[in-house]
Amino acid sequence: MPEGHTLHRIAKRLDTHFRGRPTRSTSPQGRFAIEAAVLDGLVLDEVEAHGKHLFLTFAEHTVHVHLGLAGTLTFGVSSGSENTIRWRLEAEGARAELRGPAACRLLTPSEVDDLQSRLGPDPLRSDANPAVAWDRIRLSRRSIGALLMDQTVVSGVGNIYRAEVLFRHRIDPFLEGRLLKPREWQVIWSDLVALMRVGVEVGRIDTVYPEHEPEAMGRPPRQDPHGGEVYVYRRSGQPCLRCGSTIRKRVLDGRNLFWCPRCQRRSRRQAHLV
């Protein structure tokens, strides 16, 4: 579940149902028990998402949550087992349960500042400045595919948005950042803002243009556990929805990268370097 849109969506729901109200905190699993006891009974004052990080402030205490790859935060009555609930937060008529997070801990204000200062601009935040990311990208010999996944360059983008935004603008994922044109970065950024806002609203990642939607093409809707209509993510071996070429997959920095070798053809800019 967890690219940045998921965390902003969670933050909104927490804000609606818990902020400004006294809360109960428990840790059925026990691994957050000491901290939960400190928080128990306090009013939730502020909820904030930055990239894939979530911050909940209760008086002078701030909880930092990062879902990692396996984490989930669910609302209402849960279906999972009790002994995997790291943190249960309750208010009158509301309940949230956190399972399998990579991080769930109390941070001091300076630790919060340190963490947030290391994050690149988040396309879902109004205070984001894409020029800060561009200053890193335009000087880098790393590929744009790798740079988009680096949370200190851009925060909130994950493996799906990375693959999809590059496909949508026909950009070769292996193109070095320093060879990207300013205009291309502008387009990538503004598209991330648009795509991720939709993601927050609908709770899944949809990236196909209307003419490539299942109904328009007479193809069956996508069957994939993560949901959402996409062009390349986890579609390796299948035909490109735009050109029919076979979608490819390769491990880059330990993650599966998906792309269309024809739509995202290696540009002449890069050709002499290969």
Partner DNA sequence: TGTCCATGATCAA
Partner DNA sequence: TGATCCTGGACAT
Q: What are the residue numbers of the active site?
A: 2-3, 52, 255
* Of 71 and 177, CB closest to DNA: 71
Q: By CB under 7 A, is residue 226 in contact with DNA?
A: yes
Nearest approach in angstroms of CB 67 to DNA is: 7
Q: What is the amino acid identity at position 134? A: W
Q: By CB under 7 A, is residue 86 in contact with DNA?
A: yes
CB 102 within 8 A of CB 69: yes
Q: By CB under 7 A, is residue 46 in contact with DNA?
A: no
Q: What is the pattern of x (binds DNA, CB under 7 A) and - over residues 163-192?
A: ------------------------------
**3-class SS of residue 142:** coil
| Nearest C-alpha neighbor of 105 from the set 38, 171, 32 | 32
Give the binding range for DNA (CB under 7 A) out of 8-16, 33-41, 151-159, 209-217: 151-159
CA distance 10 to 48: 10
Which of 158, 164, 168, 196 is the binder for DNA (CB under 7 A)?
Answer: 158
Nearest approach in angstroms of CB 165 to DNA is: 13
CB 61 within 8 A of CB 39: yes
Q: By CB under 7 A, is residue 236 in contact with DNA?
A: no
CA distance 20 to 248: 49
Taking CA 164 as the corner, what is the angle to CA 101 and CA 261, rounded to the nearest 5 degrees?
125
Longest dimension (CA), the chain: 64
CA distances in angstroms from 95 to 13, 123, 161, 203, 238, listed in the order given: 11, 29, 30, 19, 41
Q: By CB under 7 A, is residue 29 in contact with DNA?
A: yes
Q: Which two tokens stand for residue 142?
A: 């790393």
* Of 148 and 263, CB closest to DNA: 148
* Of 44 and 120, CB closest to DNA: 120
> Considering CB under 7 A, how many residues would be counted as binding DNA?
34
The footprint of DNA (CB under 7 A) covers 1-3, 6, 29, 51-52, 66, 68-72, 80-81, 84, 86, 99-100, 102, 149, 151, 158-160, 205, 225-227, 234, 253-256
